[in-house]
Structure 1
Amino acid sequence: MQVYVWLLLPMALLLPPGAWSGEIIGGRDAGCPFGPYMAFLKIQHGKNISRCGGFLVSEDFVLTATHCNGDKITVSLGAHNLKSKREQRRQVIPVRLRIPHPRHNKKTRNNDIMLLQLEKKVELNRCVSPIRLPPAHQRVHPGAKCSVAGWGRTSPRFKLFADKLQKADVVVMPDATCTYENYNSSTMLCAGDPDEGKNPFEGDSGGPLVCRRMAQGIVSYGSADGTPPAVYTRVSIFIPWIEKMMKKL
């Protein structure tokens, strides 16, 4: 199987030929007012480091994609400009426990969801607060307007990652629009109008698809050139599992 070796090493282990894993193409600078739930994940794999997105769902839990797993993960919350040393609102917290979904399938990319327990509770404020999760098994219908954000690459031409949090508005598409092999409409969600060209890309994996202020999806995978649509893990299907794990811990 051909593999595209980029900085996002976790996804490189999963992708079929010509696929990416998670940047915001056509996005705009988000700033602190947007996405106080947004999490930046620094992932270590031995001596290598990669990045992913994630989102805060309680004072000490973050949701992301299973393929964003690694040997060690550090979460940054309240971040906007990753290179800025003056963001006093930023909270950097190591992950205590990584909980990938037990039925995650690397080949089909099914059940691409992981819960991260932080070493300590975050300090909630204007720039750091959890996002609501949808009711169990709620469906998001085609045409719904949503948004996606992250610090991934902003162009398939250049392998440069965004320093500032980027946001793009995307629309939920019919399942038939996602013609990727192994696309599963029961656990996955298709979003991104090909005519609009807005899409997550490499480095944004694990970030949320936000619809009506709820995290309905998790950036999972898409095309190698960043062309919409992209595939998201359907969060509502996993609500019972999420609640069970959080309660258990």
Structure 2
Amino acid sequence: MKPLLLLLVFLLCPRTEAGKIIGGREAVPHSHPYMAFLRIKTPTKTKRCGGFLVREDFVLTALEKKAKMTAEVSLLKLPSRKSQVTPGMVCTVAGWGRIGQNTSTTKLHEVQLEIQKDKECLSRFKILYNSTIQMCVGNPKENKTSFKGDSGGPLVCKNVAQGIVSFGKKKGIPPRVYTRISSFRLWIENTIKSFKLQGQD
């Protein structure tokens, strides 16, 4: 059985926290069939994060075996290289991260978030924000966002994975920064192609 390949698109900044759902709601069972829950153990700690299937043997983050496709498990489409999201668009994020500063959950939650203008993140994150490979997500006037535990999960816009939960301010105040998947589409394609060729050896 071939391993499911990890495609790590963005490294989290060490001074920021990544991923929880704040201001959202519990997701209907099987409403996000592409989601993957990951528990990564290191010698000093265990980290939890999300991921999503883009092919039955590829997930944007990590899994230990090939996924079995069923009615409850399916893939999520990736954007084209020229695909764009625009400020004002409303997209969905789902994850198993915390639902409050100190409140954990074992159930998948979801929240709808609005794409922001780049200046919203440039003013908050300065040189950490790069609009070429990142996008600014979450209305600063609303208490809705992703946070600790959801990093690696997808930002889904019209049934297409446009972004990946990345980082933000430690207190979970929106907006937060998401990786722009379209900027990495060529790299993802080449990585998948390389993996397929290795499997033929």
Q: Same fold (TM over 0.5)?
A: yes
Which of 10, 21, 25 aligns to 1:24? It is 21
1:138 and 2:137 equivalent? no
Between Structure 1 and Structure 2, the one with more helix by share is 2
Tell me, in whole angstroms, the C-alpha distance in 2 between the residues paired with 1:45 and 1:37.
26
Residue identity in the other structure for 1:224 = K
Q: CA RMSD in A?
A: 1.5
Q: State the AA in 2 paired with 1:165.
A: L
**Alpha-carbon distance in structure 1 between the residues aligned to 2:71 and 2:145:** 27
CA contact (8 A) 1:161 1:203 kept: no
- Matching of residue 163 in structure 1 with residue 82 in structure 2: no
Name the amino acid aligned to 1:169.
Answer: Q
User: 1:44, 1:31 → 2: CA distance?
Assistant: 29
Q: Equivalent residue for 1:35?
A: 32
Listed one character per residue, the Cα deviations across residues 167-224 of structure 1 (whole Å, up to 9, x for unaligned) are: 0000100000112132000000111001121100001000000000000000000111
1:47 CA displacement: 4.9
The CA distance in 1 between the partners of 2:162 and 2:104, in whole Å, is 25
| Kept in 2: contact 1:25–1:153 (CA 8 A) | yes
> 2-side partners of 1:234 and 1:144: how far apart?
14
The structure whose residues are more often strand, as a share, is: 1
Q: CA deviation at 1:50?
A: 1.1
Describe the superposition over 1:2-29 as per-residue Cα deviations: whole angstroms up to 9, x where unpaired: xxxxxxxx95xx333xx32110001111
Corresponding residue for residue 230 of structure 1: 176
Where in structure 1 do 4 or more consecutive aligned residues deviate above 2 Å?
none
Unmatched tracts of structure 1, length 5 or more: 1-9, 65-72, 76-93, 95-118
Which whole-Å CA distance do the structure 1 matches of 2:31 and 2:144 have between them? 18
Which amino acid in the other structure matches residue 214 of structure 1? V
The two structures have a TM-score, normalised by structure 2, of 0.86
Equivalent residue for 2:158? 212
1:190 and 1:229 in contact (8 A); partners too: yes
Q: Is residue 209–residue 218 contact of structure 1 (8 Å, CA) maintained in 2?
A: yes
Structure 1 length normalisation: TM-score?
0.70
